[in-house]
Chain A
Amino acid sequence: MGKCKPFLEILSSSLHGDYKFPILEFLAFLFLLSSFVFTSFGFSSTEISEEYFVYRMASSLTGLPLFIFAMLLFKNIASGIGNDLEKDTMQTLLAYPLKRRSILTAKLISAFAVATLLFLGMQFSALYLLAPDMVTLHLQVVLLTYVAYMSLPLLVASITLLLTLIFKKGTLASVIGIMLFFLFSTLSSLMSLVAYATDSLLPLQLFSLLVPNIAIDSYYSSLQPMANIFWRPSIFEALLYCGAGYCFIAVILSLSYFYFSRRLNT
């Protein structure tokens, strides 16, 4: 109970800084609105598995809204943790009777968890309102789609966090984060071309370790009977790639925790 109060103190001040009124409300409004506007079912056919349509419906929402979600993460890291380090506010926070890792946890709950909750909450609500029967019946497909597609923004945000702690400058780290996100997104498309050109699955498989949505996309696309798919991974393989992607995120977050707890001099 004694350590709970300072933790909540830091969490509430981080939340206040990251989501000043009306940023949170405006984001909720736009995430919900865009979820309905960007949903696409494409050409429907009852001969194709409904799972594929649920996947396509959920993945159609991962364009611009996911990009905005990634930008929100970078902004939270830059303006939250980065500014605290630049303006020496972190020294005040370190004076709290808390372990350093608890301080970083409070910051990350505000920067990552609340943003993720907001993004997923709005998208799931929209999908459920739009197609309740499909979402209820194939909830695992929707969940797997989001797990796979959110891996890239979370990976880049984790790298941005580590860089912010090393450079002690949020702006520079967030610029690098934006460039990395852009690079990874471009490479996802490029790797398919490289795989076709070299007639080898290796580039796709290697890149799927970092960006597992390629594996998930290949798996669900292969559910179409007439699909001309270069790579047909099994669901088990696709899940392994997702797991690998989140292992990378966990490793980078652990490194950030280690750096913040042991190496960071403010």
Chain B
Amino acid sequence: MKRRWIILLGRIGTVFVAMGFALILLSLIPPVKDQGTDFIEMINLQPQTFSIADPFFLSYPLDPQHGLSVNARANHTVKLYLLSVGRTYVEEWIVRRLSDTQQSVSTLNASLLEEFLKSHQSLVAWQEDTMNGKVEVQYVPTKIVNMTLIFSNWSVQNAHINYSIHLLRVIVSSERALNPAKFLVPLGIALTLPWLNFLMKRRRTYLRIFRSQIIQRPQMKTYDRKKVNLIVVSAALVY
């Protein structure tokens, strides 16, 4: 009974290891840049204002195999937000809010964005500051979703931002593939070790019996040790 459990757990372990290797292999495949989706722009942001990036491909939704790569450079720290909602929704909300407060549409005040983010916290897919003036990010959604990229200048100085965006094609994002592989491979190895130990023991027993049988044969007595070992090893390999 114990032997059967060792074999069963060992085989489950080897399946886990195989799954882990498949995921590691997938994580090594780099994302491919989608041809014709390069968008480069330079914007000047006044203090305490924000801007919505407008690349044409963001009017289509992204899916778990199409991500976004953003590369931004600024003269000082600005904040980037990636929202999992279409640009139209954000704009409509802003227009509605501005008409309520009698403000002009041309002043996209950062406090307005703050207000939007406070009331739509679940829509923030990702946010980051430009550290040392630059930021690089790759984002792959987990469902079919429209995305909006927003730059916000919270400081009291003007911000000059150079940024480029392009679409990425991925089989699976490497982070998503590596995370389960990290525990599947060690768990698989842990389950496999008793089975391997069992196999080694069985092979050693088999070799000992096989060797003793060969040496006991009278015609084999003339053979030297090396030849016997050679036969035993070949037989073991065939087995």
Contact = CB atoms under 8 A, between A and B. Distances in A.
Contacts of A36: 26, 171-172, 177
Contacts, number: 86
A22 B14 contact: yes
Interface in A36-68: 36-37, 39-41, 44-46, 50, 53
Given A36-B26, A41-B63, A133-B143, A29 B11 contact: no
Contacts of A97: none
Interface string A27-41: 011101100110111
A8 B142 CA distance: 42
A41 B14 contact: no
Contacts of B86: 46
Given A8-B4, A132-B142, A32 B63 contact: no
A41 B172 contact: no
A130 B64 contact: yes
Interface residues of B, number: 31
Contacts of A28: 15, 18-19, 22
A256 B17 CA distance: 37
Nearest to A43: B60
A32 B177 CA distance: 11
Contact of B11 (A21, A39, A134): A21
B61 A44 contact: yes
Contacts of B4: 8, 12
A32 B172 CA distance: 12
A24 interface: yes
Interface string A248-263: 0000000000000000
Contacts of B137: none
Contact of A131 (B14, B17, B143): B143
A36 B174 CA distance: 12
Interface string B138-158: 000011111000000000000
A236 interface: no
Contacts of A41: 63-66, 144
The winner among A12, A50, A122, A134 for most chain B CB atoms within 10 A is: A134
Contacts of A118: 15
Nearest to A40: B65
Contact of A32 (B22, B60, B66, B143): B22
A230 B23 CA distance: 41
B208 interface: no
11 contacts: A24-B11, A25-B15, A28-B15, A29-B18, A29-B21, A33-B25, A36-B26, A45-B60, A130-B172, A134-B143, A137-B143
Interface of B: 4, 7, 11, 14-15, 17-19, 21-23, 25-26, 60-66, 86, 142-146, 171-172, 176-177, 180
